[in-house]
Amino acid sequence: MRYNRNDQLDPTDIHIERYISADFARVEMEKMWYRVWQMACVEGDIPEVGDHVVYEIGDRSYIVIRTETGIRAFVNACLHRARLIRERGGNVPELRCTFHGFTWNLDGTMKTLPCAWDFPHVDPTELTLPEAEVDTWRGFVFINPDPDAGSLSDFLGNFVDQWIWPIETRYKAVHVAKKLPLNWKAAQEAFMETYHVIATHPQILTWTGDSNSQYDATSDQPHWNRMINVQGVPSPHVADFVDEQDVLESFYAARTFYSADTGRDLQSDGDLPEIPEGSTARAILAEEMRKQLTKVSGRDYSQYSDSELLDTVQHTVFPNFHPWGGFKSNIVYRWRPNGFDPDSCIFETLIMADPPQGQPAPPSAPVRWVADDEQFTDVAELGLLGPVFDQDIDNMLWVQRGMKATLKKGLTLAQYQESRIRQMHQTLSTYIEE
């Protein structure tokens, strides 16, 4: 069949223009990004008064800062000649523009107006820095550029009840970021399904139930969805060719015991156990995870399910916040556009870890930017995630190119395994079509 870009789009398809059009990228920014709650940083990034980060989306820039009365997010532009007040994060006693010295207190009120005699037409009490809305969820700081936005709680819906793990007690042990030459949605969608595992990550099929993953995405909860990828079992694609001992051995070989408490891969304490008759590799692995996490943290994990200890329980909060639940891997992904360029995005991975037993949390890790000529495999902090990221991103770079080459007008999604992607686009449509 031949396709033409002028052909009628199937109503179940996702229009390719959403990924490659500069016009769509601008509409998306104005109608969606400037109106939604989005994760700006973790509270541990700004623990002391004066600590701040600069968060940017599109052409907007915000100073997310801890003040005496809480966290605020000020528009990062001087009210004199509009220079950025802060170019980077850090700690400051005041907010001072380096161009002419206009200075604000940390609460956004004007502190110093140099040569005030030359501004008889200006009332300094009215030169208060404008703000974005700010709220927090379990240690993460969210901002919303829209002054008329509803509450973060309403935006999250029943996600706040479904999330049951103490991520707020953890600190940011790893923060890796890289600019990628592809659309933020194309990059993000590679991580929202396990349908691609059979072709992209064949090395994990022995111990990953890829096509047995559970997807939860409903129309009454448009701002979040979930995927549970079963691990410690073989993929249905290879189940006829491996036994339980193969599953166990390949799981260890891949070093998949990732410790939420240390930020490191847990290793077997000795020879691999033989699987008793009537038991499974999954049962053995879950019990081993309980023992090793208890050994590292001093906490009791006996009450937690095998799924919480082994599986990838990945959530997506619209539009771009992806925290993992459970205890094996406390990973958070974030994708966002790089300005208004539909062919560029920023991909970030945060790894949250429990503080050492009986000790205060270490400082948040600084951002480690991955250079254009580096691969994720080169980033030691990512461990086993690095090679997997490289496999995913290599695909998506060619997807971005292919979306410009194809004559087909839309992307055709699977009914179930890509349902989270479809829900994301349906939610996006509610913003851009208003």
SS3 282: helix
DSSP string of 43-91, one letter each residue: GGGS-STTEEEEEEETTEEEEEEEETTEEEEEESS-TTT---S-SS-EE
| 243-280: pLDDT as tens digits | 999 999 898 887 644 443 344 444 444 567 788 888 99
Q: What is the CATH number of the domain that holds 124?
A: 2.102.10.10
| 213-235: pLDDT as tens digits | 999 999 999 999 999 999 999 99
| 156-173: pLDDT as tens digits | 999 999 999 999 999 999
| pLDDT confidence bin for 434, thresholds 50/70/90 | confident
422 and 355 assigned to the same domain: yes
Sequence-distant contacts of 81-89: CB under 8 A, at least 24 apart: 86/52, 86/54, 87/54, 88/54, 89/45, 89/46, 89/51, 89/52, 89/53, 89/54
Q: Torsion over CA of 63, 166, 291 and 299, rounded to 10 degrees? A: 110
Only one residue has tokens 């009332």, namely 123
Total count of domains within the chain: 2
Q: What is the CATH number of the domain that holds 181?
A: 3.90.380.10
333 and 227 assigned to the same domain: yes
229 and 365 assigned to the same domain: yes
Q: Which residues form the domain of 84? A: 38-148
| pLDDT confidence bin for 1, thresholds 50/70/90 | very low
Whether a cis peptide bond, with omega within 30° of 0, leads into 319 is yes
- Give the domain-ending residue among 148, 177, 211: 148
In angstroms, the CA 175 to CA 195 distance is 27
pTM for this model (two decimals)? 0.93
| 171-195: pLDDT as tens digits | 999 999 999 999 999 999 999 999 9
Could you list the beta-strand ranges (E) of 206-330: 208-216, 224-231, 312-317, 321-325
218 and 99 assigned to the same domain: no
Strands 368-369 and 171-180: parallel
In a domain, residue 323? The reply is yes
173 and 131 assigned to the same domain: no
- CB distance 104 to 93 below 8 Å: no
| 412-429: pLDDT as tens digits | 999 999 999 999 999 999
